[in-house]
Chain A
Amino acid sequence: MDGMAGGGGEGGPARGRPGDAAHASDALGGAARPGHQLATWVALGAALVGVLLLASVRSAHGPQTHPDYPSRNLPPEPQALLLPPSPADDEYFPCSDCHEGEPTNRTVRELEDDHEDLEIAHGEIWCLDCHAAEQRDLLHLANEATVEFADSWRLCTQCHGSKLADWRAGVHGKRTGHWWGPKQYQTCVSCHDPHSPRFQPLEPEPPPRRPEAITQAAQARQETAREGP
């Protein structure tokens, strides 16, 4: 710096007079060089920032992950397990206890002597459309073939055929367990009462808190904290 000022010769920093403005840059010989030095440092600094920024450019839209994540593959998937339905109602099962040897009344009617508490709300069907008249511990299909209670889903899917494919694929009905791994699904009667299959409304869980309430709760808590234990 001293060398440069000395090199200026004409007495160091230029005198500031309005008229000199036009020649200021000439007269400033010595003072101009620190300015250029500064400009160079600034340019270098800006370039450094630019390089660092470019280095941090990553593809934002492609998936990204940790470069060292070990590769993890899926093992072969086991079959989905169909859970058995819950055991039949003790009060009524086995049906043969009462219905053994009884003559069958095939008249479609509303039951009055027994089973009158059963709510039947299942379209046009009535008891013997599903229950095998001669073997009350079994159900029967439309072609008269008998079916165990545990396989009751075979009855449902006679009419509700579209549901069968969906249910087998896992899109109808609830599945638990693993999306890849042991999973369980359930028969129709696990969720649908076969006599009145429509879901009954449930009591919902509480609604979320409104944002204003969150403020009030926070304020209340702060006041309690201020009051002390």
Chain B
Amino acid sequence: MKDRERGETRPVRGASRREFLKTAAVGVGALAGVPGAARAFDLEAFFQKHLRELSNQDIEGVLRRLEDKYSRQYGKPVRVAATGPLDGVVYGYGLDIGRCIGCRRCVYACVEENNQSRDPEIHWIRVLEFEREQAIRSIDLEKGNPYYDHEKVPAEGMFYLPVQCQQCDDSPCTNVCPTGATWMDPDGIVVIDYDWCIGCRYCMASCPYGARHFNWSEPRIPTDELNPDTHLLGNRPRPKGVVEKCTFCIQRVRQGRYPACVEACPVGARKFGNLLDPSSEIRYLLAKKRTFVLKAELATRPKFFYFYG
């Protein structure tokens, strides 16, 4: 920057360009999460190509740039990884609809784990409350109420259905995305490249489950609540104007851990595992329990199975 001010030209390439941009970013980087704050226009970010066209080295560069940016923005070290999928794994999810009590512990565990914006509020999981009597013929999603606010749950005569991204095998969202910013990784997780998404929201129009959410403005996460262990395609802080959704806690499951919602559920209604492993929990319940998927007639082939435990 100083060179520019003195009118000297300086060859900017490779590392020195990165240096230059870093210096430029320092001055404004301290403004964390304030909307409308002027930020140095990140040229590297602007020209970044689609993830699939980046070499491993390029991806490393992207990760370091993001780590830098977030660490400055939140005033604490943030790690961004791009862990790839495990071989021979396709994730499946089971939700015991007989056990869910609608306590929403999963919703907020997800919010914390995945760095969702607190204001404007984004929840990747939505718990719908249904009247048992209304639902005797079928679960009519039109009759669900996500805004219940009882003193205690489960409320009398009600049952609960949490909904999140179903990670469809034949997902409409990956089909309609005009820039290919969302796709299904080999381990079955439908991911979004937040640096490639143009925010057209066509995927949101196409999702039958309302599982995709948009950053209508700059997301705000309190620094002390930020989860610093992030994944490039998962829970790293998102910019405004892009779409996000549940990724089965990609940053956890690719390390073999349960998603945060599975661990948070106090009644053990959430099950998770490898659909390709016959001895997994998810395969057990698919074999032994009555399972169903939402909006099966739409043939999206979700990997999120509801069952009666």
Specify which chain B residues have a CB less than 8 angstroms from the CB of A74 in the assembled complex.
86-89, 256
Is the contact region of chain B dominated by helix, strand, or loop, or is it mixed? loop
Specify which chain B residues have a CB less than 8 angstroms from the CB of A170 in the assembled complex.
271, 281, 284
Complex Cα distance A203/B103, Å? 7
Query: Which one, B123, B147, B175, B284, contacts A169 given CB within 8 A?
Result: B284
- Flag if B268 contacts A66 (CB, 8 Å): no
> Which of B12-20, B64-72, B182-190, B199-207 forms part of the interface with chain A?
B182-190
Mark each residue of chain A from 160 to 181: 1 if its CB lies under 8 Å from any CB of chain B, else 0.
0000011001111111111111
Question: Is A92 among interface residues, defined by CB-CB distance under 8 A?
Answer: no
- Flag if B152 contacts A214 (CB, 8 Å): no
- Flag if B121 contacts A175 (CB, 8 Å): no
> Which of B2-10, B131-139, B257-265 forms part of the interface with chain A?
B257-265
Specify which chain A residues have a CB less than 8 angstroms from the CB of B309 in the assembled complex.
166, 171-172
Known: A73-B87, A201-B152. A175 touches B262 (CB 8 A): yes
**Interface size of B as a range:** 35 or more
> Which of B22-30, B48-56, B73-81, B221-229 forms part of the interface with chain A?
B48-56
- Flag if B253 contacts A214 (CB, 8 Å): no
Mark each residue of chain B from 218 to 258: 1 if its CB lies under 8 Å from any CB of chain A, else 0.
00000000000000000000000000000000000111111
Question: Is A72 among interface residues, defined by CB-CB distance under 8 A?
Answer: yes
Question: Is A11 among interface residues, defined by CB-CB distance under 8 A?
Answer: no
- Flag if B284 contacts A171 (CB, 8 Å): yes
Question: Is A23 among interface residues, defined by CB-CB distance under 8 A?
Answer: no
A32-76 at interface with B (beta carbon < 8 Å): 58, 60-61, 63-74
Query: Which one, A205, A210, A214, A221, contacts B107 given CB within 8 A?
Result: A205
Binding site for B on A (CB under 8 A): 58, 60-61, 63-74, 165-166, 169-181, 183, 191, 199, 201-210, 214, 217-218, 221, 225
Binding site for A on B (CB under 8 A): 35-36, 51-52, 54-56, 59, 83-89, 94, 96, 101-105, 107-108, 119-121, 123, 126, 146-155, 170, 174-175, 180, 183-188, 216-217, 253-258, 262-263, 265-268, 271-274, 280-281, 284-285, 288-289, 309
